[in-house]
Amino acid sequence: MPHTQPAIPANKNYLGDLITYWLLVRSALWNSFDRVWVQICGRLPRRAEGPLICYMNHPSWWDGYMAAVINREVLRQRFAGYLMMEEFQLRIYRFMTWSGAFSVDRHNPREAARSVEYISQVLRQRPDQAFYIFPQGEITPNDRRPLTTYPGVAHVVRRVGAATLCPIALRYEFRSEQRPEAFIRFGPCHRATTPVDIAALTEEVNARLTAGADALRDAIIADDMGNFGLLLHGRPGIDRFVDPLFGLLTGQRREPKS
């Protein structure tokens, strides 16, 4: 696919991906977050229902790492993951190509079209491929509304044909721990109708992503963790050591946290 390759194509590499995930992604999350939570809405997609296109809101620098976590810990690598990254960022973090990252230049229509055609060809090859995309195009404050999205998802779907789509909402909050917690709301998945209407599908993607981000926000504000599962533990903050010691000395027990 030389004529449709972006400036920096993916360079999927099993060992490189493994090293990047465990030494970079997991270690960074362990050091920076108290816990990572996930809420699964609906059921997880099956390989035969792919290719899978996951469109995510983009509130933080950490979002690309979360895509890697979702692919490994939520989907259990039933799909081979690819991630679209801004070219200037990928030139700095070039090792991310080992995990399926490839470049896009939103400010150059020709280069953006090459990136869309590139991932479309990749997804057409096999159903067990997943594409992670941030249709907002840039990091945007979590609660800014209206949520604005570009039509990249719709353009990929039009070229791929049958595909499963999944909205994923991300949020990061300080609750009752020293370190922040990360929250993932996965799904529910849906199928795109064909033939694809670019404007209509972009509007649907926007509406579903907004609804997911709003639902995640509301659950956290209400401290409603009943539908969340603990995905990853991080490094305990000092409160995890001091509070039990204080309890031993005073006889007051710390209330367990959800």
Max mean pLDDT range (3-17, 204-218, 226-240): 204-218
Alpha-carbon distance 194 to 161, whole Å? 7
Q: What is the mean pLDDT of residues 162-183?
A: 94
Query: Is the Cα dihedral 141, 143, 146, 151 positive or negative?
Result: positive
Alpha-carbon distance 258 to 18, whole Å? 31
Q: What confidence score (pLDDT) does residue 162 get?
A: 87
Please say if the pLDDT value at position 250 is more than 90: no
Domain ranges of the chain: 2-250
Listed residue (137, 132, 119) closest to 53, CA to CA: 132
With contact defined as beta carbons under 8 Å apart, do 164 and 55 qualify?
no
pTM for the full predicted model: 0.91
Q: What confidence score (pLDDT) does residue 153 get?
A: 96
Please say if the pLDDT value at position 98 is more than 70: yes
With contact defined as beta carbons under 8 Å apart, do 67 and 132 qualify?
yes
Please say if the pLDDT value at position 185 is more than 80: yes
**2-250, CATH topology level:** Glycerol-3-phosphate (1)-acyltransferase (3.40.1130)
Alpha-carbon distance 170 to 184, whole Å? 5
pLDDT tens-digit series, residues 126-162: 999 999 999 999 999 999 999 999 999 999 999 998 8
pLDDT tens-digit series, residues 187-209: 999 998 788 999 999 999 999 99
Classify the phi-psi angles of 76: left when phi > 0, otherwise alpha if psi is within -120 to 50, otherwise beta: left
Total H helices, total E strands in the chain: 8, 9
Alpha-carbon distance 149 to 116, whole Å? 15
The Cβ of residue 246 has, within 10 Å, a number of other Cβ atoms equal to 14
Q: What confidence score (pLDDT) does residue 1 get?
A: 46
Q: What confidence score (pLDDT) does residue 194 get?
A: 81
Listed residue (33, 34, 32, 36) closest to 67, CA to CA: 36
Alpha carbon separation from 157 to 10, 119, 235 (Å, rounded): 19, 10, 40
Q: In percent, how much of the chain has pLDDT > 70?
A: 90
Q: What confidence score (pLDDT) does residue 236 get?
A: 79
